[in-house]
Amino acid sequence: EVQLLESGGGSVQPGESLTLSCATSGFTFTSYALSWVRRAPGKGLEWVSSFNGGREGRTYYADSVKGRFTVSRDTSKNTLYLQMDALTADDTAVYYCAKHPQQLIGTSWFDPWGQGTQVTVSS
Amino acid sequence: SYGVTQPLSVSVAQGQTATITCGGDNIGGLHVHWYQQKPGQAPVVVIYSDRFRPSGVPERFSGSNSGNTATLTITRAQLGDEADYYCQVWDTTTGVFGGGTKLTVL
């Protein structure tokens, strides 16, 4: 069974940093793309970042986080990370990790999703 | 950047058919995926690649996509179908979600 378990969320002040983790199991980690998606309070889902599977694993970012967030992976731990710097109140959201059904994001969908981890940015 | 538009809310009587639209410029040329999110839960895909239903999703859920509109149809709506529904596409390597539609089953 595929499992995705996010952790690392919490409350931080504007300008601070936070790193989220997504521990995975039940599939060959490097064979599938993985993504981060968030949902801010009172708003809808927003794609944040993706990491293609494969040896090189290209990365992609939403304009709203480009230059501030960095996605990475540790293949020895089957874990995806999202390092978030220069956080603002607009980054307050539940952050979800999601798997793709193929190696490249291409035109694929998110399935399954983790349960999410809350990030709150407030002074 | 590519944008997709959904109605904010849709209401349907129990047992009737709900239709949720997702509008975008020539969206018929893209693969559209639909997600259901209930309060306090993670999203779940209910339709992928326009019209395919994952195992475990009831046959009451179906999808279509043509021209400038993709559609999620829920027949014989049940109280348990109440949720937020999102369409999603890829604009090359950028993920795009619709704003979400709150489905109310009366």
Q: What DSSP assignment string belongs to A44-80? A: -EEEEEEE--TTT--EEE-TTTTTTEEEEEETTTTEE
Cβ within 8 Å, pair B95-A50: yes
A90, A107 Cβ separation under 8 angstroms = no
| CB-based contact, A46 to chain B, within 8 Å | yes
- The beta-carbon neighbor of B97 closest among A46, A106, A112 is A46
Assess contact for A112 and A78: CB atoms under 8 A.
no
The answer to whether B84 touches B101, Cβ cutoff 8 Å, is yes
Q: Is the dihedral of CA B27, B32, B36, B41 positive or negative?
A: negative
Using a CB–CB cut-off of 8 Å, the residues of B that contact A are 1, 30-31, 33, 35, 37, 42-45, 48-49, 54, 84, 86, 88-90, 93-100
In order along its 123 residues, chain A shows pLDDT tens digits of: 999 999 999 999 999 999 999 999 999 999 999 999 999 999 999 999 999 998 878 999 999 999 999 999 999 999 999 999 999 999 999 999 999 999 999 899 999 999 999 999 999
pLDDT digits 0-9 by tens, B33-62: 999 999 999 999 999 999 999 999 999 999
The answer to whether B83 touches B105, Cβ cutoff 8 Å, is no
Task: Say how far apart CA A48 and CA A74 lie, in whole Å.
Answer: 19
* DSSP letter assigned to residue B93: T
Task: In whole angstroms, give the CA distance from residue B102 to residue B91.
Answer: 24
Q: Which two tokens stand for residue A4?
A: 């995705």
